[in-house]
Chain A
Amino acid sequence: LAKTTQPISMDSYEGQEVNITCSHNNIATNDYITWYQQFPSQGPRFIIQGYKTKVTNEVASLFIPADRKSSTLSLPRVSLSDTAVYYCLVGDRWSYSGAGSYQLTFGKGTKLSVIP
């Protein structure tokens, strides 16, 4: 299981660039890195996915170094509406939880608060 570690919370002012880093030291060769955003009382929303180097879309950029042991989600010029919880997931999301059941683990994510 590729365990991920990310900060519990971050604060940023409006208009700044925000970088959220996720550590995944035991990432497997076939694993992709996927980020989700969740607003209160809404389902998580897929933001971006990457395997190596840099991926960019209309919402964010994802930077992945050559060793792939970490990744950084970059949100350009955040606004108040970017206040949300951001989850980093790596490939093998499954973890055995005993008695034949498996957990598709999301972790606790990073709570980003954007300040006016």
Chain B
Amino acid sequence: DSGVTQTPKHLITATGQRVTLRCSPRSGDLSVYWYQQSLDQGLQFLIQYYNGEERAKGNILERFSAQQFPDLHSELNLSSLELGDSALYFCASSFRQDNNSPLHFGNGTRLTVT
């Protein structure tokens, strides 16, 4: 158990809808990362937060947004959903924000857009 909690585990919704994915980082970790992994694809970095502030951004679509709250949990909001957004969404956390700090991943939210 990595200590990172993601909810929900599964989400099925229709095109055009909006969903919110939630992540609770490992106790004591200040940095949260979001990744997208489509079928047989690699891990695509979306965005990173550190202690409530955005630190880095990958190729995150404008329809997607995220935030990290004062209690350090994070939410990823996906709107105007398309079929191609169906994927596994992972959250990871680390204690520091530097490049050598190991990442601890949750078990992901599987999003299916129909």
Contact = CB atoms under 8 A, between A and B. Distances in A.
B88 A41 contact: yes
Interface residues of A, number: 27
Interface string A71-97: 000000000000000000001111001
A102 B57 contact: yes
Interface residues of B, number: 25
Contact of A93 (B42, B59, B99, B108): B99
Contacts of B56: 94, 102, 104
B77 to A, nearest CB: 18
Interface in B10-25: none
A43 B59 CA distance: 20
Contacts of A97: 58-59
Interface stretch (A13-21, A30-38, A59-67): A30-38
Contacts, number: 65
SS class, residues of chain B in contact with chain A = loop
Contacts of B57: 100-102
The residue among B2, B103, B110 with the most chain A CB atoms within 10 A of its own CB is B103
Contacts of B43: 44, 106
A6 B43 CA distance: 16
A9 interface: no
Interface string B81-114: 0000000101010000001101111111010000
Interface of B: 2, 4, 33, 42-43, 45, 48, 56-60, 88, 90, 92, 99-100, 102-108, 110
Given A43-B106, A101-B58, 10 more contacts: A31-B99, A31-B100, A42-B107, A44-B90, A93-B99, A101-B60, A102-B45, A104-B48, A106-B45, A107-B42
Interface of A: 30-32, 34, 36, 41-46, 49, 91-94, 97, 100-109
